Amino acid sequence: MWNNKSGSAVLLSIFLSAIIITVAIGFNWLVKEHVKTAIGFKNKSRAMVKVYSAIDTLTYVILTGRKTADGIEFSDRSLLGISGIGANNRPLTVWKEVEISVQDTNGMVSLYNLDVGLFENLMKVIKIANYKEISDSVSDWVDSDNIEKAQGAENNYYTSMNKEYWPRNKNVEYLEELLLIRGMNRQIFGQLEPYLTTMPSTGFNPKAASDELMMAFFKIDRKTMLKYRTSPCATIRSVFNIDAEDEAVEFCTMSGNLVLTVRYGDGAGNSLYSVNMGIGLIETNLYPYQIYYWKEG
Ligand SMILES: [Ca+2]
């Protein structure tokens, strides 16, 4: 009898202990998850504040700086700890952990004032096989008429493909709109996106252009491009016979329409928070510059 009672008490103790341990482990896990979430929020908030602060400072030093062919020389070198930044999208690290970059639209293909020849050459350089279909279809998408180019697409094409839309017949308003156009798919879009902008350009600036765009503009191979990649503008102008009197196309200047990117990372290559904005350094009565678009997250 005594033994049986003792056995029951031991079993009860084991049972109660198991419950207490399970609850304790669960509580411990819950607390750990809460702490993890809190740290995540703290890091995210810190990243947001740093990014907002950096983009404000970057905008200020750009507005008060001096535009050159290569980029912008800052008037106040102490704010970001650098004396200037190139307009070729090359990232610079400031304040130890924030990455900033600036890209002028004269080093991109503008969909606002599309140079079809440059667009086609770029697609040839980056090896997009159906480049003609894409350039004709993009031209049809933005031109005001309903007359199809050789490999283009107007209302009839999209209706026949059971699409519930027709070409805008005006300028593209956002890059992802290209995914609606004949010949385009996600993979090609991904290849093209870094070179394209919906903002206006005013000419071509090899100092702001990527290697591929430089090859496309001058219709040269990689080897020739690398030979002149870092040459002064005057040399490039004379080697490639750029007419100095041709006012229609500005050469080696900045348009002043800029893509600004500010990113805060975790030090392991992951972005915790970033802002990407398109601005135009065009002063009006009310504002010192224009914001064309703003993306953050
Ligand atoms: Ca059209």
Q: pLDDT by residue (tens digit) across 89-135? A: 999 999 989 999 999 999 999 999 999 999 999 999 999 999 999 99
pLDDT at 266: 80
**Average pLDDT estimate for 171-193:** 96
pLDDT per position as a tens digit, 232-269:
999 999 999 887 666 657 899 999 999 999 999 887 77
Q: What is the maximum span of the chain, computed from C-alpha positions, in angstroms?
A: 114
Q: Ligand 1 mean position to 154 CA, how many Å? A: 6
Could you please report the per-residue DSSP string of 271-294? EEEEEEEEEE----SS-SSEEEEE
How remote is the CA of residue 112 from the centroid of ligand 1, in Å?
15
CB atoms within 10 A of CB 20: 10
Question: What confidence score (pLDDT) does residue 10 get?
Answer: 87
Q: How far is the CA of 212 from the centre of ligand 1 (A)?
A: 29
Q: Sketch the domain layout of the chain as residue ranges.
A: 41-108+254-296
Alpha helices in 64-126 (DSSP H): 116-125
Q: What is the pTM of this model?
A: 0.86
Predicted confidence (pLDDT) at residue 52 exceeds the cutoff of 80: yes
pLDDT band at residue 2 using 50, 70 and 90 as cut-offs: low
- Ligand 1 centroid from CA 199, angstroms: 20
For residue 199, the model assigns a pLDDT of 96
Cα dihedral 59/63/64/68 (nearest 10): 110
The rounded Å distance from CA 146 to ligand 1 centre is 5
Question: What pLDDT score was predicted for residue 248?
Answer: 59
Å from CA of 109 to ligand 1 middle: 20
For ligand 1, the distance from its centroid to the CA atom of residue 33, given in whole angstroms, is 55
Asked whether the predicted pLDDT for residue 286 surpasses 90, the reply is no
Contact between 55 and 277 under an 8 Å Cβ cutoff? The reply is yes
State the pLDDT at residue 241.
Answer: 87
Question: Percentage of the chain surpassing pLDDT 70?
Answer: 96
How confident is the model at residue 4, as a pLDDT?
Answer: 67
Contacts of 239 (CB under 8 A, 6+ apart): 228, 231
Angle 116-125/211-218 helices, nearest 10 degrees? 120
Look at residue 66 and tell me whether its pLDDT is greater than 60.
yes
According to DSSP, residue 154 is labeled -
The CA R_g of the chain, rounded to the nearest whole Å, is 28
177 CA to middle of ligand 1, Å? 15
For ligand 1, the distance from its centroid to the CA atom of residue 144, given in whole angstroms, is 5
Cα–Cα nearest to 131, from 145, 144, 121? 121
What pLDDT is stored for residue 178 in this prediction?
A: 97
pLDDT per residue over 206-226, tens digit each? 999 999 999 999 999 999 999
Confidence at residue 3, expressed as pLDDT on a 0 to 100 scale: 61
Q: Per-residue pLDDT averaged across 4-30, rounded?
A: 88
Distance from C-alpha of 263 to C-alpha of 258, rounded to nearest angstrom = 16
- CA 175 – ligand 1 centroid, Å: 18
pLDDT at residue 122, rounded to an integer: 98
The mean-pLDDT minimum among 48-62, 188-202, 207-221, 242-256 falls in 242-256
Distance (angstroms) between ligand 1 centre and the Cα of 155 equals 8
d(CA 157, CA 183): 12
